[in-house]
Amino acid sequence: MLGRDNRINIAILAVPEVTASALFGMFDLFSSPGRDWPFIITGIAGEQRMHPYVVARSTDGFAAANGIWVKPDFDFCDCPSPDIVCIPDFFVNPGESVAGMYEPEASWLKRSHEDGAMLASACSGAVLLGEAGLLVNCEATIHWGYVATLTNNYPGVKVRVDRSLVLSGEAQRIVMAGGGSSWQDLALYLIARFVGLKEAMEVAKVYMLQWHDMGQQPFASLMSLQQTTDGVINRCQEWLATNYKVQSPVAAMVALSGLPQRSFIRRFTKVAGMTPLNYVQALRLEEAKQILETTDLPIEAIADEVGYEDTSFFGRLFRRETGLTPAHYRLRFGSLRRALKKI
């Protein structure tokens, strides 16, 4: 399904809470195939292969989440029939429901999908796919901080934060990208699928884009240190925050709580969302990530610093939870510290 001028129609959905960088960044990348590479090489722009346009429930302009003015090209009634609909990320409170807030957008997305369009979301944009009823019992991805936004509100959704892109639905006509800048991966994927791999690689070269093939695991926080409403468990969490490196910390928390071991584990898991052992491990690994990012301590010393005498076990656990070895994590994230020290 192509536009009248044989360009691929790409509707980029905008809501007032939209992130302007993703909205306009998508517009730029989709305008590039066929046009920009010849211009870079020869000085003469080529024929544009894709036709992006901004669509919203109304063509009235509005200020995006960061205050930048957005003037939609079309509303849902008069926009050209899209081959692809892209949903940039927008501001939504993690875990909260947006039920009823985006009914026009959800209805239009569902209708576009039924008419054969491919739907593509970046980051929190996946929430609107959920509102359209398109994620029931499907695999999905979203920014790691917003996993609960999907799992709390849409039945059966299976969130994969280990994947850069997730394809779902009939004929894989739904594609989701997870992290904040993963709209770049999403755009490159769509260019490759609808225009060609050669053109996608040319766009990547023009814009100097790098594919995020490792997914979100290295970037994600391993835990949410939210205060619980349980005073006994809160007291144990506060103690653990400064004593996580001691031997047998779970047994120490059991003693501190005054509860039988089974009762403590059941109560802790219920209010904290993870077992005491997993909580200890997550807290230790978060501290290890911080040390790796900010110091040059040897890996063996870091393992000992966070409570692991067995460096090999620490390395296996770290890789399982982050997708990277401690050394590779330091290489990737410690480089920022080193660069800033030179300024």
- Domains, in order of start, for the chain: 8-207 (3.40.50.880), 231-341 (1.10.10.60)
Whether 140 and 168 have beta carbons less than 8 Å apart is answered as: yes
pLDDT tens profile 89-137:
998 888 888 998 999 999 999 999 999 999 999 989 999 999 999 998 8
Whether 258 and 239 have beta carbons less than 8 Å apart is answered as: no
- CA dist 343 and 338 (Å) reads 9
Share of the chain above pLDDT 90, in %: 52
Is the per-residue pLDDT at 303 higher than 80?
yes
Is the per-residue pLDDT at 341 higher than 90?
no
Q: 209: number of CA atoms within 13 Å, CB side?
A: 22
pLDDT confidence of residue 228: 67
8: CB partners within 8 A, 6+ apart: 2, 49, 50, 51, 83, 84, 194, 195
Is the per-residue pLDDT at 339 higher than 80?
no
pLDDT confidence of residue 3: 47
- CA dist 143 and 146 (Å) reads 5
pLDDT confidence of residue 10: 97
Residue in the block written with tokens 């709209």: 183
- CA dist 7 and 225 (Å) reads 49
Strand partners, 18: 90
Is the per-residue pLDDT at 69 higher than 80?
yes
pLDDT confidence of residue 191: 92
